[in-house]
Amino acid sequence: MSSSTAKTTTAANELPDTIRALVWRDDALHLLDQRQLPQSCDWLKLDDAPAVARAIHDMVVRGAPAIGIAAAYGVVLAARAAWLTANKDWREAIEPDLQILAGARPTAVNLHWALARMQALFTELDDDPEPALLAEANRIHAEDVAANRRMGELGADLIGSVPAVLTHCNTGSLATGGFGTALGVIRTLYGRGAVKQVYATETRPWLQGARLTAWELQQDAIPGQLIADSAAAALISHGDVKWVIVGADRVAANGDVANKIGTYQLAIAARYHGARFMVVAPTSSVDMACASGADIPIEDRNPEELLKVAGQAVAAGGFAAWNPVFDVTPASLIDALVTEAGVVEQPDQARLARLLQA
């Protein structure tokens, strides 16, 4: 791309939303390499499914909705290759690429949701499958942006006006098709003049808050401050932070939520100090086949991610590390789950089931 970020044209009265993490252009998927932010804005052009799977695994693209969208475009690339090599037998030829995509990351349910939605079209396609699958991937992408804007409105309506909010990890345009989930609520609040200060945790070990959320807020001129993860409870205790707003990689049927490691302790601190706790996630992140948080697979990553920062050792040599990427926040600590289909306060299985049925 010619500019450092992919920007949308916005009217003066529209909410700040200038960043895109993934773009389909020139018959290929282009990803903003989030490992390099904020030092540089590097775009990678991917033209086969294994490259998309590697990009998902290696955190070039991250955030559950963005992972799902990237996987959908990965299916398009897989279908193109299968058609070229096997023609009418493309459905059999595509299977290895689908398996590679499915195994890229285990916790984000949006990945498997997007693959299932794309595969549902296979039986309807007799000729070259690429045009129809590309149209479906584009719909998934556009629907995500629309859902995020809707969640932004619903979440902001529930919150009203507050002095400050706290968010964790990155849940903005970089983590989605655009606008963001939890950060979409914050964008909407700021656009309404309903929040004065946004606090972002640094979010160790990948520093998504420091590198990505702080950068997004800066790009769209939203006032924010960065805090160390370990400062969150002290900040909440001061009283200005009325809501902690986070995203989710998977929501279990009983309302338990898997999100970036450190989310659980924020929910505990919020409950203790009388702040409220909001999870913002599309219905594609709700997994009714998963009974509770105990059934959500939690991804463990290389301990080196914890022992080093930007390749530089920060721990004693040879020391061991435990590096889970996610934790599970019990539904009992969640005041509101915001989806594009509506808001569920004090989420549980019955309330989630009614929401999805409606």
Contact 121/114 with Cβ under 8 angstroms?
Answer: no
The phi, psi pair for 329, rounded to 5°, reads: -100, 120
Please name every residue paired with 312 in a beta bridge, in sequence order, or none if there are none: 309
Q: Has 157 been annotated as catalytic? A: no
Contact 190/216 with Cβ under 8 angstroms?
Answer: no
Give the tokens for residue 19.
């960043």
Tell me which of 17, 144, 229, 249 is the catalytic residue. 249
Q: What span, in angstroms and rounded, lies between the C-alpha atoms of 259 and 282?
A: 13
User: Vertex 13, ends 8 and 16: CA angle to 5°?
Assistant: 45
Q: Compute how many other C-beta atoms are within 10 angstroms of the C-beta atom of residue 165.
A: 28
Chain length of the chain? 358
Asked, as a colleague might, if the bond just before 65 is cis with ω within 30 of 0, I would say no
Question: Counting Cβ atoms within 10 Å, is residue 299 exposed (0-12), middle (13-18) or buried (19+)?
Answer: middle
Q: Which of 141, 276, 147, 260 has its CA nearest to residue 202?
A: 260
Find the DSSP H helices in the chain.
49-57, 64-86, 90-93, 95-102, 109-119, 130-159, 182-191, 208, 214-219, 232-237, 263-273, 304-307, 349-357
Instruction: Put residue 40 in one of left, alpha, beta given phi > 0 → left and psi -120 to 50 → alpha.
Output: beta
Active site residues: 249
